Structure 1
Amino acid sequence: MSDLSGRTTIVVGASRGLGHGIAAAFAEAGAPVVAVSRTAGEFAAPANGEGGIRVELADAGDASVAGRLLDLHEPANVILVAGANPHMRPLQHHTWESFSANWESDVRITFHWLREILLTPLRPGARVVVVSSGAALAGSPLSGGYAGAKATQRFITGYAQDEAQRAGLDITFSTVLPRMTPVTELGRSAARAYAARNGQSQEEYLQQMGPVLTPEIAGNAMVDLVRSQATEVAPGYLLTGAGLKKLG
């Protein structure tokens, strides 16, 4: 698994933020990358690796997209990062539509892609990583149903691993839960909202979060995870500016 050349990696939600960094890191590591997003992202040519990035413009939540792209590209690795940015407001100021936005986006994407991965199925030795959120552990009182949706992504990933084992499929599924980071649009809006709620400046709020998680750190962590022996991969990880930490 240390050699990623010839092992196509699909990154869903690759146009910006952590997804962009993950796509770039896999290309630098030599993997052919398929960057899936609804809007086109710009990628620099890999400086050291032999991999390249092919952009696929598609709505990852469309029920037909996952099967089509899996059949077309036959990936060895799939990284799901896509999701909606939640509206940051107290519970009583949400509508059902704003409260449930991440269920209709993040959970829907995870369901469609993991279902198709099991049905296809991916080739033996394939790796699947679902990027959830640290909010799945700590909650997120200003983002409606976001934390519950992110926790459900983790449950679905565990269900997929169980079904793969029951079917004798050599596919490894894992969930990664990134901590809030101000380098993404979602993280910036959340930091502003929670700092105001706590009567702090945004800088004061972020200082207590520890080292900043960047797209580059996220990308390198994902490459290391996919390169690990399957027997060493945990069902879940917390991702911070210090890297990955296995969850119990």
Structure 2
Amino acid sequence: MKDLTDRTALVVGASRGLGRGIAQAFAAAGAPVVAVARNETALAQLAATDPRLRTEVADATDAAMAGRFFDQYEPSIVVLVAGASPLMRPLHHQTWETFSANWHTDVQIAFHWLRESLLRPLSPGALVVVVSSGAALAGSPLSGGYAGAKATQRLISGYARDEADRAGLGITFTTVLPRLTPLTALGAPAVRAYAARGGQTEEAYLRQLGEPLTPERAGTALVDLARTDPAGISPGYLLTSAGLKELPQ
């Protein structure tokens, strides 16, 4: 088990849901953690849970933020979880603005932070994890452009991995695709919408999904990934309550 006490983890989108669980898990594992989000109140509540957690209130879509925080904190672990909550409506009830929301947030965040990881670059041995969504594989007909945006996050993470390898930077990039869970502010409305679409109760729909992924389990999985030898880290993983499963390359 690799010691994380000297590896600063910067978690973008740490104020709620899986991001909060991931930030808390890294702090519990002994890593200094920088938790980044826009919600100052939620970040203050998070910081109160562990002295190893420090917070930064920022908009991750701001192109200058990645460079600023990389210079200030020199992280060796970067986890990108931030994104917009999609409007849960079928295609013909979307507008272009609602349909494209995740392209202007999730994809833009991944682009800025992956780009800066390569430009700076981060130190050899650094790990950058883009938390995408299982919707990137299965689609999501009630969430506009969400599935496509999450698939694009996976693609550009792969591009960054290739560029790092070509330049011999020693930086590992990977994508984690969590399965839909009702235990987050993002997942709960999706569960309601898909249950209603299928004429099911939420309870019946959830039984189909199996044991839900918790923020705590997500945090444990990401900590385990950070402790893995970089040579053994796959370009992509599906994340369920059972943990990480490598995706076919």
Q: TM-score, normalised by structure 2?
A: 0.96
Counterpart residue number, 2:200: 200
In 2, distance between residues paired with 1:162 and 1:97? Answer: 32
Secondary structure, aligned partner of 1:84: coil
Partners of 1:201 and 1:143 in 2: CA distance? 20
1:33 — aligned with what? 33
Inter-partner Cα distance in structure 2 for 1:20 and 1:150: 20
Which structure 1 residue ranges, 5 or more long, are not aligned? none
SS in 1 for 2:186: helix
Matched residue, 2:142:
142
Q: Per-residue CA shift, 1:131-179, capped at 9, x if unaligned?
A: 0000000000000000000000000000000000111100000000000
Partner of 2:111: 111
Is 1:90 paired with 2:90?
yes
2:209 is aligned with 1:209: yes
Question: What's the counterpart of residue 72 of structure 1?
Answer: 72
Task: Summarize deviations over 1:4-63 as a string: whole Å, max 9, x none.
Answer: 0021100000000000000000000000000000013222544xxxx7011000000001
Which residue matches 1:183? 183
2:169 is matched with 169
Query: SS at the partner of 2:130?
Result: strand
Moved more, 37-46 or 170-179: 37-46
Shift of 1:209: 0.5
- 2:211 maps to a residue whose letter is P
Using the size of structure 1 for normalisation, the TM-score is 0.97
The 2-side partners of 1:209 and 1:100 are apart by 27
Greater than 4 Å deviation, 4+ residue runs: none
1:94 Cα offset (Å): 0.3
SS at match of 1:130: strand
SS of alignment partner, residue 185 of structure 1: coil
The equivalent of 1:234 in structure 2 is 234
SS in 2 for 1:89: coil
Letter in 2 for 1:209: L
Counterpart in the other structure of 1:133: 133
Q: CA RMSD in A?
A: 0.9
Letter in 1 for 2:111: F
Deviation at 1:231, TM superposition (A): 1.1
- 1:244 matched to which residue of 2? 244
Q: Aligned partners of 1:168 and 1:234: how far apart in 2?
A: 17
